[in-house]
Amino acid sequence: MRFSEDKLALLTCSDLVARRIHIWQPEQPRAVILAIHGGMAHAGDYVTPALYFRAHGIATVSFDMCGHDGKKRVDIPGFDSFLDDAELFLQWVKRHYPGLPIFVMGHSMGALIATHLGLARFAGDADIKGFILSSPYYVNAIKVPKVLLLLSDFLAKVFPTMKVPLGSLTEVLTHDRGIIARHVADEKDNVRATEVTVRFAAALTSAQSGLASRLPAWRFPVFGVVAGDDKLADAAASQAMLASISPALLEYHFYPDNYHENFNELNRDKIFGQILHWLDGLLEAPRGSQPEGPASAI
Q: Which domains does the chain have, with CATH numbers?
A: 7-284 (3.40.50.1820)
Residue 263: pLDDT over 50: yes
The whole-model pTM stands at 0.92
Q: What percent of the chain has pLDDT over 70?
A: 90
Q: Where residue 160 falls among pLDDT bands split at 50, 70, 90?
A: confident
**Distance set, CA 271 to CA 5, 18, 95, 149, 204 (Å):** 21, 33, 30, 35, 27
pLDDT tens digits, 12-68: 999 999 999 999 999 999 999 999 999 999 999 999 999 999 999 999 999 999 999
Q: How far apart are CA 88 and CA 132, in angstroms?
A: 20
Q: What percent of the chain has pLDDT over 90?
A: 84
Residue 270: pLDDT over 70: yes
Between 143 and 92, residue with greater pLDDT: 92
Residue 296: pLDDT over 50: no
Q: Where residue 291 falls among pLDDT bands split at 50, 70, 90?
A: very low
Residue from 142, 79, 149 nearest 114 by CA:
79
Q: Supply the pLDDT for residue 146.
A: 54
Q: Which long-range contacts (CB under 8 A, 24 or more apart) does 209-214 make?
A: 211/112, 211/115, 211/116, 211/138, 211/241, 212/138, 212/240, 212/241, 212/244, 214/119
Residue 242: pLDDT over 80: yes
Residue 199: pLDDT over 60: yes
Q: How far apart are CA 90 and CA 127, in angstroms?
A: 10
Residue from 38, 82, 65, 96 nearest 227 by CA:
38
Run of H or E residues at 31: strand 31-36
**Counts for the chain of helices (H) and strands (E), in that order:** 9, 10
